[in-house]
Structure 1
């Protein structure tokens, strides 16, 4: 399983990070459509795309507008857009609306609530999901399983214990970490996570590797915080960086 980190920042882009977007190029699976979505077309290894949204905040959906031209040019021939009912309604009503952007690409909109079980099979890849309640408006966590490998993507949530079994034993966990320990008092207030609590989560759930994403864009470097101390909590921790790729 190959995973490309296209955008690893939160709220707005800065000089080193675009906002959230992670691509499995061989599977044609994309998680979130932040400002990094312009990077999808040249890295996608097929003509169809399965795009899973975590929630409808602008830094996770604005890139949907960037897919209009690739679809017109048939660089991407079909896009299935998955999200809960609340998210898809927000996309239709607020993103693709007069007078801001009236031309919605030819998405096939698929509500997560339409599935009997919270999962969908895409070729050899099983995608599962779970609601995350602690972010304003909520969010959705995703897991991909393929050939005995497990990848988990969790963003825009406070670490509240509700999804530990869902991500347990993941080979790779990409988890939001908007705040440092020094600014941790803002985490629960805003429905985000901070450094040590994410490391402790990874340790408790026996994941093999942890990549931190959705970093506060005021942190304008690739290594915004010193990880030396937190590596005593969980050693296999790094910052996700734009345009990195990972092979499981």
Structure 2
């Protein structure tokens, strides 16, 4: 599991930072990529990476401001032109369906793969045998959501040496025991699966927030997360300006991370008023409150280990 930043700026594209887009690489877990927001020129950013659009499975749009959305029609079209055939599901606020369908219809774009658009409200958006994605509404000028991606716990390691001591050779019984199913041997011996499997591997939690003021919903989504991605459009001391524009400062993001007991914070959505030299100062502002803080940059990658 790896988080890859395709765009980390706020409002408008800049030379240093493109507008928001984040790829969650789940290549080992499910052979796919989930995209969070798709600002203008996201597909251009992808050209500088090893990301294959055909691997994009789900796209989550936090809100419908252009710097989080305007790259979506182009990406969907290019994915089709490049031979993508697998289904894509897009999740986002009310109005997303009209935006996508109108863009594709007016431009005469035909997709060669199935597309599903799910307009969301708070609660569980997605669940399968591996992951759960929950959404909560944040505080912004228009409906804006944060997402909590929860990896389900995985079965523990199969204790092969212990099985061999019990006289069980590799084969179908190993698979059953790994799945937690107790088995009976030919001589009538019952092997309790729990005795031959190590502790469960705890699933990881990643929280990705859309634009927001500091708020309780952000803290709830971030609770005990391995990684929190929180906007920090403004620097410390600009709290009044951040409030007026429905955004957050570096220190407010850090306070959220601290109170939510996250392992790592990464601040993003950085205003173009802050140049490359200012990035270190913004990072230190966050670290003064939450030491395990990082600042996003275009093409920065953060691994999320078990």
**Offset, 1:76:** 5.9
Q: Tell me, yes or no, if structure 1 residue 138 matches structure 2 residue 143.
A: yes
Contact 2:95–2:119, Cα closer than 8 Å, also in 1: no
Could you tell me which residue of structure 2 aligns to residue 234 of structure 1?
Answer: 290
CA distance in 1, matches of 2:212, 2:125: 21
CA distance in 2, matches of 1:240, 1:223: 13
Partner-residue secondary structure (3-state), 1:29 = strand
| Aligned CA distance change for structure 1 residues 55 and 102 (closer, same or farther; 3 Å) | farther
Could you tell me which residue of structure 1 aligns to residue 71 of structure 2?
Answer: 63
Could you tell me which residue of structure 1 aligns to residue 90 of structure 2?
Answer: 81
Which structure shows the higher helix fraction?
2
Partner-residue secondary structure (3-state), 1:137 = coil
Contact 1:144–1:151, Cα closer than 8 Å, also in 2: yes
Could you tell me which residue of structure 1 aligns to residue 59 of structure 2?
Answer: 51
Stretches of structure 2 lacking an aligned partner (at least 5 in a row): 154-202
| Aligned CA distance change for structure 1 residues 220 and 46 (closer, same or farther; 3 Å) | same
Contact 1:47–1:78, Cα closer than 8 Å, also in 2: no
Could you tell me which residue of structure 1 aligns to residue 257 of structure 2?
Answer: 202
Structure 1 residues 165-215: Cα deviation after superposition (integer angstroms, max 9, x where no partner): 221111110100001123322111111101111111111110111111111
Give TM-score, length-normalised by structure 1: 0.87
| Aligned CA distance change for structure 1 residues 104 and 18 (closer, same or farther; 3 Å) | farther
CA distance in 2, matches of 1:131, 1:121: 19
Contact 1:61–1:91, Cα closer than 8 Å, also in 2: no
Partner-residue secondary structure (3-state), 2:238 = helix
Contact 1:48–1:76, Cα closer than 8 Å, also in 2: no
Structural RMSD (CA): 2.4
- 1:1-248 alignment runs, 5 A limit: 1-25=1-25, 26=27, 27-38=32-43, 39-40=45-46, 42-44=50-52, 47-67=55-75, 68-75=77-84, 77-93=86-102, 95-96=103-104, 98=106, 101=107, 103=109, 105=111, 107-113=115-121, 117-121=123-127, 124-132=130-138, 134-146=139-151, 147=153, 148-221=203-276, 223-224=278-279, 226=281, 227-248=283-304
Contact 2:54–2:79, Cα closer than 8 Å, also in 1: no
Larger Rg: 2
Stretches of structure 1 lacking an aligned partner (at least 5 in a row): none
**Offset, 1:2:** 1.2
Structure 1 residues 129-182: Cα deviation after superposition (integer angstroms, max 9, x where no partner): 1111x2111201001122411100012100022331221111110100001123
Contact 2:126–2:132, Cα closer than 8 Å, also in 1: yes
